[in-house]
Amino acid sequence: MGLEFRPLQGEFGAEVIGAPRDLRVGDETLHQIEAAWFRRGILVFRDLDMTPADQIAFSRRLGPLHIMVPSEFNHPEHPEVWVVGNAERDGKPLGLRGAGMGFHTDGEDKRVPNAGSFLYARMVPPEGGDTLFADMVAAYAALPDDVKRKIAGRRGRFSRAEMHRINYPDMRPYTPEELAARPDVYHPLVRRHERSGRVSLYIGRWACDIEGLPQDEGSALVRYLQEFAQLERFVYRHRWRDGDAVLWDNRCTQHCATPFDETRYTRLMHRTTLEGSEPIMA
C-alpha cells in the first residue's frame, strides 16, 4: 500500500499515512515523502517507534546532518540527536529546557542556516507543549504590495550577540569565544527555495534590523514582518502525542514552542537537524 498525504491546513502541512513505524523506507517511498515535504512545508508522522539510530538513518537520507554546538544536550551515544525538554536522569537534565520559544527558523542566525529539522516525541504532557508552525510562503504572498516593494532585494541582520539573552533567558550566557564564532549574518528577507523554487518571507526572532535602512526604520519593519507572519491564518498548531514526529522545512516555515506545566509533566523530544545552504535572494 502506498503512502497517503492528508492535508492539515489548506495547502500547508500534511499528515503522512502508511509509513512504517521505524521509517525504514525504500527509495521510491522516500522520494514521495521528500516531494510532499517540499510542497507542504511540514509533514506529521503518527505512532512511530524509532530508536535514535532509526531517526538518524531516516534524516540522513534527506541530507547531511548538523551536530548542535554547544554539545551539552546532544545524545551521549548519538551526537546527531539533540535532546530538548525537562526530563532528568539522576537529577541531571537530559535536554535543553525552554527550547524553541518564539517564532524562528533553525539556524537563521548562522551564515548557512539549517535546511530542515525532524522532531520526535518520546514523552509529551497531556496538555500544553504544542508547537506552532507558520507558512512563510503564504505570509509572503499576502503581504501588501508596498511592503513587498520595500523588502525586495534587501537583507535582514540576524544577531546571536544581541538576541541570545532575550531568546534564551534561562540558558547560560555565551562565552566571548562562542559569540566570536557566531558573528552577525545577513540573509534575504524574500527567499527562494533552492529545491522547490517557492518564494517565502524569511524572518524570525534573531532578526534585528535591515541592511540599507536607518536602524529605527529597519527594526520597526522587522517587527511588522514578524507579527504579520504570526497571524492566525498562516499558523498550524500541532498538539503532540507520544510517538509523533514532525519534519519541517526551515527554508519556508517558522515554528514556535509553547509552554506547559513543568511542575506536573515531563516532555522529552529528540531532534535531528539537516545542514543547509546559503539562502537565495528571490
Mean pLDDT across the chain:
96
- Cβ-based neighbours of 67, under 8 Å, separated by 6 or more: 74, 79, 80
Name residue 80's amino acid: E
pLDDT, residue 69, reads 86
Do 121 and 244 meet the contact criterion of CB atoms below 8 Å apart? yes
Is pTM beyond 0.85? Reply is yes
pLDDT, residue 56, reads 98
Q: How far apart are CA 40 and CA 12, in angstroms?
A: 5
Q: Which of 17-21, 173-177, 207-211, 232-236 has the lowest mean pLDDT?
A: 173-177
Residue spans of beta strands (DSSP E) within 104-197: 116-123, 131-135, 155-158, 185-188, 190-192
- Of the candidates 97, 73, 46, 88, the one whose C-alpha atom is nearest the C-alpha of residue 259 is 97
- Cβ-based neighbours of 226, under 8 Å, separated by 6 or more: 103, 203, 204, 205, 207
Q: How far apart are CA 274 and CA 254, in angstroms?
A: 15
- 181 band by pLDDT with thresholds 50, 70 and 90: confident
pLDDT, residue 1, reads 58
Mean per-residue pLDDT, 235-264? 98
CA distances, 102 to each of 132, 140, 254 (Å): 10, 19, 9
Percent over 90 (pLDDT), the chain: 89
Q: Which residues of 76-94 are buried (b: 16+ CB within 10 A; e: fewer)?
A: eebebbbbbbbbeeeeeeb
pLDDT, residue 2, reads 84
- Of the candidates 88, 118, 43, 62, the one whose C-alpha atom is nearest the C-alpha of residue 266 is 88
Cβ-based neighbour number of residue 250 at 10 Å: 24
For residue 170, pLDDT over 80 is answered with no
- Of the candidates 268, 272, 271, 270, the one whose C-alpha atom is nearest the C-alpha of residue 85 is 268
Q: How far is CA 195 from the centre of its chain?
A: 17
- Cβ-based neighbours of 58, under 8 Å, separated by 6 or more: 23, 24, 25, 50, 118
pLDDT, residue 27, reads 97
DSSP-derived 3-state class of residue 73: coil
Domains of the chain and any CATH numbers: 4-124+237-276 (3.60.130.10), 135-229 (3.60.130.10)
